[in-house]
Structure 1
Amino acid sequence: MKTILIPTDFSTHSLNAIDYAASLAEKMPVKLILLHMYHVPVVYTEVPVVAITDQDFEAEADVELKRQVEHIQSSGKVKDVSYINREGLLVDTISDIAAENKVDLIVMGTQGASGLEKMLIGSYTAAILDETQCPVLIVPAGVSFKGIKKIMYATDFQFNDFTAINQVADIARFYDAEIVVTHISTAPAKEEATMDWFMEIAEANISYPNVTFRSFAGADVSGQLTGLVKGMNVDLLCMSTVRRTFFEKLYKSSLTKKMVYQAEIPILAFHVKEPNRL
């Protein structure tokens, strides 16, 4: 991992994500890029007003971005910090910006909310997940970095999981963290052999030594995961998400996005281009 991108609108939860990312990266030889997207609203009025130009928005954001860069550098956590200040909508441009800058990880904050507001915020985060190809680390509001001792990777026995787990291991190595590969089975008798096969392939393809495998039975997968995260004192939950078509979104729910809506710890989401189950 070499480059981490952190979108910010200077809200409390996005600034919290910057602090989390800087603390996470302290032990890593990486560079941080702060990203701010500004949008100049079109105002229709018969009353004379002082027009705010895109240069005004850009200049104001530049001041705050420089302040955040100086804050990170003065903390001594990361020295290689830069920023991008650009007009546009984040959801429309983040994928291109990530590709242009060879970003390995995106870190973004989510705001604490409830009811409809929570669903709208979760939907926005889900849209970002759909648009990007690199992993996305979602940091809930108010969650600060306290080190990483235990990481849970939730698997549905996809071949893509082995690549993702190795990427998780790239983070775990810096903290000597345990990775618990976890499967929630709705039909445990049928999937016991699959778990054994998955473990055998994983041991041959994952170089990190501190990996354990656990399987649990349960019909409510998201509820079971939430309970395990709390009960096992997990610091980071990792999952894979599949980009769906419009009609698939109507008829199928995404476990990753459901967990994002109710997250109390950071969630690291990986993208699966083509689902390929064992």
Structure 2
Amino acid sequence: MKTILYASDRTEHSSPALKYAYQLSLQLKASLVVLYVHEMEQIRVSVSRPAAQIEYHVIKEQTEILTKYCEKHLGVAVDGKKLQAEVVLNDLVSDAILEKSMDFGTEMIIIGRKDKHTDRGLFVGNIGKGLQEKVPCPLLIIPNNVATKSIKTILYATDFEEADILALKKLVPMAKALGAKIQIVHISTEKEYAGKEQMEWFKDMLRQEVDDTSIDFTIIFSDKIQDKLKAHANVIGADMLVLLEREEKGFFQKIFHTSLVAKMEEHIGIPLLSYNELNL
């Protein structure tokens, strides 16, 4: 992995998320681009200076503020290489994040999760929806109060489909770089469960694509998917939850359709990494 983009709201409360993103970039030996999207009021025609000149000075000023913010909380210099500070002017935050991720060839986007301390949460509403539908790379959503610690256990929720194998094929190298173990869980009602044959097929297909015999598999029967997912994550001490956003309705939609977003944000207190099926 070469480049990670972290979209910051530049608040004191979200500084733990900045530290988490930076530590993760070090572990994955990637450059970290810290992005701040500045929503500027429309420039009045009567203003004497050209709009382009005003925008230039606004970006310069905001970049200086972002640089000081990063250096204050990380204790390292923004060198423009391993750590970069980037400011863009845009009223559409999700569009700005996506455009910059393409400019930098980003291989992971990190955003903070909305909570009661900020009006500018990124996971819910139009911003989160726009990112989930269009991200060209994995999207990591982290609580703003996340603790910076080593990632040792990654929980992947599967529907036993081919797309899951493609996602795991990308996840395994990252897990190895982090020194983390992957645990796979399938949560289903007994009525929907297709039987052990499906799981054995999935295991065989995965072994053909991934050389990692340490991956464990668990099946849990329940109608309360989000509750059981939370409980299982707690039992195994998961440091990260990984989900696949599918083009067709599946596990991800069961978890993250609109009526369940608030519950997941409230109950799952660990970072969430999502892969988009269309970009695998």
With normalisation by structure 1, the TM-score equals 0.81
**Percent identical:** 22
What letter corresponds to residue 217 of structure 1 in structure 2? F
**Change in 2 beyond 3 A, CA 1:120/1:105:** closer
Residue matched to 2:26: 26
SS at match of 1:195: helix
The unaligned stretches of length 5 or more in structure 1 are 45-52
1: CA distance, partners of 2:88 / 2:160: 40
CA contact (8 A) 1:7 1:14 kept: no
CA RMSD of aligned residues (A): 3.2
- Give yes or no for contact 2:9–2:120 (8 Å, CA) kept in 1: no
Q: Which residue of 1 aligns with 2:169?
A: 166
- Contact map agreement 1:256 1:269 (CA 8 A) in 2: no
| Residue 41 (structure 1) aligned with residue 41 (structure 2) | yes
> Distance in 1 between the 2:233 and 2:270 partners?
9
1:195 paired residue number: 199
Which residue of structure 2 aligns with residue 96 of structure 1?
99
1:79 to partner: Cα distance: 6.6
What SS does the corresponding residue of 1:85 show, helix, strand or coil? strand
Structure 2 counterpart of 1:213, one-letter code:
F
In structure 1, C-alpha distance between the alignment counterparts of 2:175 and 2:62, rounded to whole Å: 34
Number of the residue aligned with 1:49: none
In the alignment, the residues of structure 2 paired with residue 232 and residue 86 of structure 1 have an alpha-carbon distance, to the nearest angstrom, of 40
TM (norm. structure 2) is 0.80
Query: Which residue of 2 is the match for residue 255 of structure 1?
Result: 255
2:160 is matched with 157
Q: Residue 54 of structure 1: CA displacement?
A: 3.5
Q: Deviations over 1:42-91 (max 9, x none)?
A: 389xxxxxxxx544532331112222454547289x97111221111221
Structure 2 counterpart SS, 1:10: coil
Q: Secondary structure at the match of 2:85?
A: strand
Q: CA deviation at 1:203?
A: 1.3
Unaligned runs of 5+ in 2: 45-53
Distance in 1, matches of 2:265 and 2:71, equals: 32
User: Is the contact made by 2:155 and 2:238 (CA closer than 8 Å) also made in structure 1?
Assistant: yes
**Contact 2:20 2:148 (C-alpha < 8 Å) held by counterparts:** yes
- Counterpart CA distance in 2 for 1:135 and 1:57 is 31
For structure 1, which segment, 227-236 or 253-262, has the greater mean C-alpha deviation from structure 2 after superposition? 253-262
Tell me if structure 2 keeps the 8 A contact 1:241–1:254: no
Query: Which of 87, 101, 115 does residue 89 from structure 2 map onto?
Result: 87
